[in-house]
Amino acid sequence: MSGAAVARLLLRLELPSPGVMPPPPTDYDYGGPISDDEFLASAMATEGPTVRYDLFPQNHSQSTLQIVLNHTEVQTDLQYPHYDDLGLDPEPNWTRICEDVYNPLLENNRIEFWVCGVLINIVGVLGILGNIISMIILSRPQMRSSINYLLTGLARCDTVLIITSILLFGIPSIYPYTGHFFGYYNYVYPFISPAVFPIGMIAQTASIYMTFTVTLERYVAVCHPLKARALCTYGRAKIYFIVCVCFSLAYNMPRFWEVLTITYPEPGKDVILHCVRPSRLRRSEAYINIYIHWCYLIAGEAG
């Protein structure tokens, strides 16, 4: 018998039969489970009793949960400024105080200055001039027609929207970056915002529906010229304009209760700061979901 055959025979004798587990070794005894102190002593290679240090107290779960809850309550105003503070404080602190926002090193202030303080003001002034010229030309007696009256009404709505945009976004964006126009930012802008903001939203909605009305009038005049004699008249154009304005006014009526003016005497200074904050209605989750999101989507899609 060769050496390889002998090796295979010895290996086969040492292996257990299929399906049979080999017996456990009996050379040593486990002695049962060891305690935590014995395990620590064997791991640290030390003799004698060891000392255990608890990183947390016995009620660490409750303490940790309380810390997490407190942290969540503190961060609520920063993460969700439009929601009530978990029902604990209907008026969070940030809605009752004002702060000086002048900081030319802040990136947001720089972006808002160039986008709102420069571009909006320049484009807005040019747009106002263009709309005024259009209204003057279209209002001439020889230009009397239904489409020209609708275009004049559209130019009126756009002019009001541009003016409110400049007052609410254009001029106030200058002070946080440059430090100029503090008088307007602190003494004019906070007090006109509760009225100018709803007017701007009314003008925006009216502009949307006036654009739709102009499109519909042109469609009837071109595709249905026989019906245009009865539908596309100067008197009906006035009615269309009044209906669009009245609907926009009724739809945006809740906007008059969205903005609040806050007066805050800054500690240690003689200057009294004024700022604009959203009202409790504007921070309501139900109001945001129903009116701001869904109603605005339906009204915008309809226009």
Question: Which pLDDT value is given to residue 84?
Answer: 42
Give the model confidence (pLDDT) of 13-61 as tens digits. Answer: 555 545 455 555 555 455 556 676 666 666 665 445 545 544 444 554 4
Low-confidence ranges of the chain (pLDDT < 70): 1-34, 36-91, 302-303
pLDDT at 72: 40
Q: Which residues, other chains included, contact 240 with Cβ-Cβ below 8 Å and sequence gap of 6+?
A: 150, 213, 217
Helices 234-251/189-223 angle, 10° precision: 140
Tell me whether residue 277 is exposed, middle or buried, using C-beta atoms within 10 angstroms of its C-beta: 0 to 12, 13 to 18, 19 or more: buried
User: Strand, helix or coil at 66?
Assistant: helix
Q: Can you spell out the DSSP letters for 110-162?
A: HHHIIIIIIIIHHHHHHHHHHHHHHHHHHTSGGG-SHHHHHHHHHHHHHHHHH
Where are the chain's structural domains?
107-302
Beta bridge partners of 265: 272
CATH of 107-302, one of 1.10.1740.110, 1.10.630.10, 1.20.1070.10, 3.30.310.10: 1.20.1070.10
pLDDT at 268: 83
Q: Evaluate the CA torsion angle 129, 131, 134, 136 in order and state its sign.
A: negative
pTM of the predicted model over 0.85: no
